[in-house]
Amino acid sequence: MADRLDLSGRHIVLGLSGGIACYKAAELARELVKAGATVQVVMTEAATHFITPVTMQALTNRPVYTHQWDPREANHMAHINLSREADAVLVAPASADFMAKLVHGRADEILSLLCLARPAERVPLLVAPAMNREMWAHPATQRNVAALRADGVSVLGPAAGDQACGEVGDGRMLEAAELRDELIAFFQPKRLAGQRVLITAGPTFEAIDPVRGITNHSSGKMGFAIARAAQEAGAQVTLVAGPVHLPTPAHVRRIDVQSALQMHDAVMPLAAAHDVFIATAAVADWRPVAAAEQKLKKDGSGRPPAIEMVENPDILAVVARLPQRPYCVGFAAESHDLLRHAQDKRARKQVPLLVGNLGPATFGQDTNALLLVDEHGHRELPQADKLTLARQLVAEIATRLTPPTR
């Protein structure tokens, strides 16, 4: 993450119930503070067996609450005071027992007491389950999870993998950075709620022979940032990615492809079922007519082999001409005369919104600047990190959409 302070101004009550995943709560507290939040830690007695309040206090710069009769609260109402100040309560780890208590409205210690006492309509509750896989899979736990969801609680994770007990399965708490990002996403305005968004990203790779090919410097970062921003905004996102080395944004469906033809073949059956199509991929304009089956060798003549090229389909232009077309957003990576080229490209591809950026300046970088061109004119989104720009672009797209009808 660049030095964006995505949780700036947010006050988070971070609750810890008992479980080995408490060790991850230290890192989580640090990540939340680094993202700009103030963090008030509240621990159950069981949690203090796994990590000390001293550690959590040092990381958050605030004394930790461990019981409801805390003498620091003059009115003896820590549960009221703490929950009224919070923008959200995040319980991480949430043990099976703690979730069972939440379901039943039990309030026999400070953390469950404050969860019950919080004004639910303005202080959301998020829980990150952490437990052995058998405990997670148990029908009692699954009933409790369903009941919590029905009560409006957000359940984050759990992940699958190695467990402290030596077993492998569902029940691991999400990692600290994942939980931080879930919380950041939670606070983003849901401008694309109910919308389905299809995005292409990255370069394509056009094979010449089994070991060589034609590609470009696109890193995929802008497209991946847009996928994350659209997901944060409540959209259901499908990301068709060329060969890039980037992690998939949370809750995004990813389809990996290599060539322009594969990207075309992945996009076409999906396009009409989406409300928005954002083509950020730097698709190769041409490909070798056929990739040689064996590596092309020098023949000693000094003449390079002739590689016959053919034009690739223009995925964006094809989607933009579908009778049931989604709202189409194109990208133009130019080296000069950005506005003119972006306007020309918008007209040529017949898309309502074209986003220009300076290719050489942005490829592989963490920052960018965008120029939005539509039927009314143009607007600049000045230099910023790509996720910030992606969120601004998503907000711009949202204002141009009609609410979903399906």
Residues that bind ligand C5P (CB under 6 A): 200, 260, 279-281, 283, 312-316, 330-332, 345
DSSP letters of 173-218?
PPPHHHHHHHHHHHHS--TTTT-EEEEEESB--EEEETTEEE----
In angstroms, what is the minimal distance from the CB of 279 to ligand C5P? 3
Closer residue to ligand C5P (CB): 131 or 342: 342
In angstroms, what is the minimal distance from the CB of 360 to ligand C5P? 14
Question: Which structure tokens are listed for 142?
Answer: 């699954």
Closer residue to ligand C5P (CB): 51 or 315: 315
Is the CB of residue 340 less than 8 Å from the CB of residue 330? no
In angstroms, what is the minimal distance from the CB of 374 to ligand C5P? 14
In angstroms, what is the minimal distance from the CB of 226 to ligand C5P? 12
Nearest CA to 228 out of 263, 253, 262 is that of 253
Nearest CA to 180 out of 12, 396, 49, 307 is that of 12
First-residue to last-residue Cα distance in the chain:
35
In angstroms, what is the minimal distance from the CB of 3 to ligand C5P? 29
In angstroms, what is the minimal distance from the CB of 313 to ligand C5P? 6
β-strand partners of 384: 368
165 catalytic, yes or no? yes
Closer residue to ligand C5P (CB): 236 or 259: 259
Is the CB of residue 327 less than 8 Å from the CB of residue 397? yes
Closer residue to ligand C5P (CB): 79 or 386: 386
Is the CB of residue 330 less than 8 Å from the CB of residue 374? no
Closer residue to ligand C5P (CB): 97 or 206: 206
Give dist(CA 349, CA 330) in Å, integer.
8
Exposure of 245 by Cβ count < 10 A (0-12 exposed, 13-18 middle, 19+ buried)? exposed
In angstroms, what is the minimal distance from the CB of 246 to ligand C5P? 17
Nearest CA to 35 out of 157, 184, 176 is that of 184
In angstroms, what is the minimal distance from the CB of 353 to ligand C5P? 10
Taking every pair of C-alpha atoms in the chain, what is the biggest distance, in angstroms? 92
Closer residue to ligand C5P (CB): 180 or 349: 349
* 302-319 residues labelled b (16+ CB within 10 A) or e (exposed): eeeeebeeeebebbbbeb
Of 22, 115, 165, 328, the active-site residue reads 165
Instruction: Supply angle C-alpha 251, 318, 197, rounded to 5.
Output: 20
Provide CB contacts within 8 A for 295, sequence distance 6+.
209, 210, 211, 212
Closer residue to ligand C5P (CB): 53 or 313: 313
β-strand partners of 24: none
Provide CB contacts within 8 A for 350, sequence distance 6+.
317, 320, 321
Residue 59: count of CB within 10 angstroms of its CB = 21
Closer residue to ligand C5P (CB): 129 or 330: 330
| Residues with active-site annotation | 165
